Chain A
């Protein structure tokens, strides 16, 4: 009985691995190797291991762009967090039927093209846009304001892009807070405001962190929105990467920017993701 495994048995043992092989191969050859290549090339400069990075940071323009990108990403994350929390809080506490409609309304933008969504903000913020028209009709301003190509426009566009993701990250967390907790807090004399800050908000922290990771890394890597709403004056790392790669053919700099973006994404996912799962795990123990 305990003879060597037959050929059929050996193929059977390999079965699961044969099934994951195509997906693994596609992923390895089309994603992992090319991206790893970009990371490796960012360090392969004959002038030295960090030469590309030295050159990149030596240029004050690049430093300005990098700081601006992080500021824009941070502020759009903060905006999405506030808006997303507001939306998710209402959705999570709505009745079943309303909840469904509200979720579809807030998720639908996610399924439309980034170009369409950025373009819609050009229609809102432009010289003949909705905001200027309304303000002029109301007599608040006499001349249209220049709102496009400002940092505010980029932040508003990115917040619009990513608030649905924040809502999706928060709705589940807020829904799962048990009614008993609210009842208990209320019967112990906590005011609704105190309940919100001492029960709801702390329990939502893991969802807030996960949503923020998605929005921050997404904002940093989005190309279309800063191009259409920010233009040349609001150059970000993503638009600079495109310019270096496709217009000035400075692939050393493009590799470096790509590596910086990868590094930031990995940092956010690993460090913040660990914090979020630690918090959730500690909750589960208590």
Chain B
């Protein structure tokens, strides 16, 4: 399909907007290899020492591991709860009222900073929960809407009569879900998990209130670092973080493509 013709001036403006969105990322990549102690763009010289700096700063590695643990934990809780909810909401449309589904989108509408502060007061102060489980629970909430939405979307295209046929032929409902429903919504499940994982990995607002001096997440560590030292190390960390995001995105693209060829 070819596009519609638009005025050259609006096309130019559109390209400027794309430049505005993509430019800063290019600049960050450029400054990360500049052989200057300050951020320079276009880069002067070429060096990878800022990347070496990232790995020699133990704070980045330690917090990266915590971020990974939190992202895996939060994504798994959101997956189990979200998959069950999405299944019930699409399979039993008649019995669960329609508005109930939108309850799961509440985390989208509550300002994250308000949520983070409220979690500090309840989980950390009131219930004296350690930081790691508090972070995982908080991130599970941030991830839940993505799971319900994305898995729900792929379930809505699934023909449940196949599953009913299997059950009426004597298959156990749990086994039917596992062997018939799940393979069919695989791409939705993976996409939901990836979105959840990226959301958790990038979260600032919740971690800001829950992390303490001893335990922190990578974005918080980077944020603290930027405020103290404004050097290209941050650019290098940023590029590495973007690399993780691209890697994860390519994983979905591949698995989505794969599932299409299988079907």
Contacts and interface: CB of A to CB of B under 8 A. Distances in A.
A20 B24 contact: no
Interface in A27-64: 27, 30-35, 37-38, 41
Interface stretch (B47-55, B134-142, B157-165, B181-189): B134-142
B77 interface: yes
Interface in B36-84: 38-41, 77, 80-82, 84
A117 interface: yes
Contacts of A38: 114, 117-118, 121
Interface string B208-243: 110000000001001100110010001100100110
B120 interface: yes
Contacts of B16: 86
A160 interface: yes
Interface residues of B, number: 85
Contact of A35 (B20, B115, B234): B115
Contact of B21 (A24, A32, A106, A130): A106
Contacts of B166: none
Contact of A95 (B1, B20, B222): B1
Given A86-B16, A120-B28, A265-B109, A23 B121 contact: no
A262 interface: yes
A30 B137 contact: yes
B8 to A, nearest CB: 11
A160 B21 contact: yes
B169 to A, nearest CB: 18
A122 interface: yes
Most buried by A among B14, B84, B202: B14
A113 B241 contact: yes
B96 A113 contact: no
A19 B28 CA distance: 45
Nearest to B5: A93
Interface in A94-135: 94-96, 98-99, 102, 105-106, 108-109, 111-117, 119-124, 126, 128-130, 133
B175 interface: no
A182 interface: yes
Contact of A224 (B22, B223, B230, B235): B223
Contacts of A233: none
A112 B137 contact: no
Interface residues of A, number: 84
A276 interface: no
B17 A87 contact: yes
Contact of A221 (B13, B95, B113): B113
B2 interface: yes
Contact of A90 (B1, B10, B21): B10
Interface in B4-29: 4-7, 10-11, 13-18, 20-22, 24-25, 27-28
B10 A20 contact: no
Interface of A: 13, 15-17, 19-20, 22-24, 26-27, 30-35, 37-38, 41, 83-84, 86-87, 89-91, 93-96, 98-99, 102, 105-106, 108-109, 111-117, 119-124, 126, 128-130, 133, 160, 163-164, 167, 179, 182, 192, 196, 217, 220-221, 223-224, 227-228, 238, 241-242, 245-246, 251, 254, 258, 261-262, 265-266, 269
19 contacts: A16-B88, A19-B87, A20-B88, A22-B85, A23-B82, A27-B106, A86-B10, A87-B18, A87-B21, A90-B17, A99-B3, A102-B18, A113-B222, A115-B219, A119-B28, A124-B24, A160-B21, A261-B114, A262-B111
Interface of B: 1-7, 10-11, 13-18, 20-22, 24-25, 27-28, 31, 38-41, 77, 80-82, 84-85, 87-89, 91-92, 95-96, 100, 103-104, 106-107, 109-115, 117-123, 137-138, 140-141, 144, 148, 198, 201-202, 204-205, 208-209, 219, 222-223, 226-227, 230, 234-235, 238, 241-242, 245, 249
